[in-house]
């Protein structure tokens, strides 16, 4: 029994939303601790698909949800999402959802700058989601950010907006030759936004502390994946926040001793959206087949996801960086039709085998994956709910993954629906 962190181990879209929804049943509180609406987390319940970008996936099970101080929040997207949830009969009122007073606000100029920079970079672009994530975190670090608590004192908010826009408009106009923004237009739009969001603003850290002291169980919902982490990912082809489990504490305002179980979500193969190195990427029919069978399109931008084989250099890196105590393997069913399934066990670089994920992008780009081959199971596993009922070759594939990274698999997901799940080992008692 304990507080559990869910993190992506690859480049995002591992199926975190599905697993958080599933485990929310056993939690009292569900907290997002980093990222913003660059995330797209999909839940499928009774055949109905719900995608959340900002509100923790625990809202579907109607658990108390929190947006932590480490998240960057676009207030318009949040309000839209609250409406969307309400229209699906999911209560996302202030009684169910709180936003940290310390969370930073994604402002209209953040989105403009994000997109202007990407256009400016041309074919060297990162392939961001264009949601203003990087520029917002940048302002946080340079101490120019606007926080939710600033909305409580609207005169202070107005003053901050007017000051910061002088600099932003200079940059937009003179560097990008782009449109500028009238501060009064922003201020006017925030009159309404503010009124609607004020009841949601709270000191999330204090509420979580009190809850934990009263035996409430907390589920921390990571966004993105370990290899998009600003510190440890394929820099600069990363997002702008720390994605790894250690940040679950910092990004929600609880101490690290409160993190008890850390589950890494692992897609049974690998995908990546946007630019950046991806050693096991497939450029052949098998890659296309995985992309189609897995419906690998981004839940936020709709972009086609690049697909490739499972990479154990990546997974072992995630095991080390996150202190993983268990794995959830998702989308195993997507491999049902394949004759042969490969696992990358290491990289060849300049005639030597590399086991550790390199920091240098140029080295990573030149790494050649070393593969071992496994026979497929050629059977529809999407209806299986007991581990023992899986085909032998599927069990062998899973056992090999466990062996290669020394972490036990606790959950196997065989379909998008909540019911298409095999619990191998209980996470919550």
Residue 213 is encoded by which pair of tokens? 């002291």
Give ∠ CA 240-137-306 in degrees, rounded to 5.
Answer: 25
Give CA torsion, residues 317, 319, 320, 324, to 10 deg: 160
Should residue 8 be labelled a site residue for ligand GDP when binding is judged by CB under 6 A? Answer: yes
Among residues 17, 211, 246, 274, the one that binds ligand GDP under rule CB under 6 A: 17
Q: Any contact of residue 240 with ligand IMO (CB under 6 A)?
A: yes
Phi, psi of 272 (to 5 degrees): -150, 135
Give the nearest distance from C-beta 302 to ligand IMO in angstroms.
Answer: 12
Segment contacting ligand IMO by CB under 6 A, of 37-45, 57-65, 94-102, 402-410: 37-45
Q: Taking Cα atoms as reference points, which of 259, 328, 332, 399 lies closest to residue 22?
A: 328
Distance CA 73, CA 155 (A): 21
| Structure tokens belonging to residue 112 | 């403009």
Distant-in-sequence, close-in-space partners of 425: CB < 8 Å, separation ≥ 6: 326, 408, 409, 410
By a kind-dependent CB cut-off of 5 to 8 A, residue 4 interacts, out of ligand IMO, Mg ion, ligand GDP, none, with: none
Residue 38 binding target from ligand IMO, ligand GDP, Mg ion, none, CB below 5 to 8 Å by type? ligand IMO
Interface positions, 38-57, toward ligand GDP (CB under 6 A)? 39-42, 44
The pattern of x and - marking residues 316 through 355 that bind ligand GDP according to CB under 6 A reads: --------------xx-xx---------------------
Give the nearest distance from C-beta 184 to ligand GDP in angstroms: 37
The separation between CA 98 and the C-alpha centre of its own chain, rounded to angstroms, equals: 19
State whether residue 129 is helix, strand or coil: coil
Asked if 415 touches ligand GDP (CB under 6 A), the answer is yes
Beta strand extents in 290-390 (DSSP E only): 306-308, 310-311, 326-330, 340-349, 352-354, 368-375
List the single partner that 333 binds among ligand IMO, ligand GDP, Mg ion, none, CB under 5 to 8 Å by kind.
ligand GDP
The residues binding Mg ion (CB under 5 A) are: 13, 40, 299
The residues binding ligand IMO (CB under 6 A) are: 8, 11-13, 38-41, 126-129, 131, 133-134, 223-225, 228, 239-240, 273-274, 299
The residues binding ligand GDP (CB under 6 A) are: 8, 12-18, 39-42, 44, 299, 330-331, 333-334, 413-416
């Amino acid at each position: 029994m304990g507080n559990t962190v869910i993190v992506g181990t690859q480049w995002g879209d591992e199926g975190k939303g599905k697993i958080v929804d599933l485990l929310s049943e056993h939690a009292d509180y569900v907290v997002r601790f980093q990222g913003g609406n660059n995330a797209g987390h999909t839940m499928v319940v009774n055949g109905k698909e719900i995608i959340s970008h900002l509100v923790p996936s625990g809202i579907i099970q109607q658990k108390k949800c929190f947006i932590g101080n480490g998240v960057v929040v676009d207030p318009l997207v949040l309000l839209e999402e609250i409406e969307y949830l309400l229209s699906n009969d999911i209560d996302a009122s202030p009684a169910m959802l709180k936003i940290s007073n310390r969370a930073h606000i994604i402002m209209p100029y953040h989105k403009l700058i994000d997109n202007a920079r990407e256009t400016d970079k041309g074919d060297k672009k990162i392939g961001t989601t264009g949601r203003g994530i990087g520029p917002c975190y940048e302002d946080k670090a340079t101490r120019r950010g606007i926080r939710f608590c600033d909305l409580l004192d609207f005169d202070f908010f107005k003053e901050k907006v007017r000051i910061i826009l002088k600099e932003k408009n200079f940059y937009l106009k003179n560097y990008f030759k782009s449109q500028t923004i009238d501060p009064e237009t922003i201020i006017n739009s925030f009159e309404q936004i503010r009124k609607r969001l004020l009841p949601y603003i709270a000191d999330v850290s204090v509420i979580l502390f009190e809850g934990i002291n009263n035996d409430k169980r907390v589920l921390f919902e990571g966004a993105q994946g370990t290899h998009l982490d600003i510190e440890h990912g394929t820099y600069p082809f990363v997002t702008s926040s720390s994605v790894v489990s250690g940040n679950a504490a910092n990004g929600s305002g609880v101490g690290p001793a409160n993190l008890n179980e850390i589950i890494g979500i692992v897609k049974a193969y690998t995908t990546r959206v946007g630019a950046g190195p991806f050693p096991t990427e497939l450029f052949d029919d098998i890659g296309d087949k995985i992309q189609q069978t897995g419906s690998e399109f981004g839940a936020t931008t709709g972009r086609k996801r690049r697909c490739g084989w499972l990479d154990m250099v990546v997974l072992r890196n995630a095991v080390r960086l996150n202190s993983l105590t268990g794995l959830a393997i998702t989308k195993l069913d997507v491999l049902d039709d394949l004759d042969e399934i490969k696992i990358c066990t290491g990289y060849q670089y300049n005639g030597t085998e590399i086991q550790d994920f390199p920091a240098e992008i140029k080295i990573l780009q030149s790494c050649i994956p070393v593969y071992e081959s496994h026979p497929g199971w050629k059977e529809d596993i999407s209806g299986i709910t007991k581990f023992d009922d899986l085909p032998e070759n599927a069990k062998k594939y899973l056992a090999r993954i466990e062996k290669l990274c020394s972490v036990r698999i606790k959950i196997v997901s065989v379909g998008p629906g909540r019911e298409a799940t095999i619990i191998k080992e209980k996470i919550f008692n």
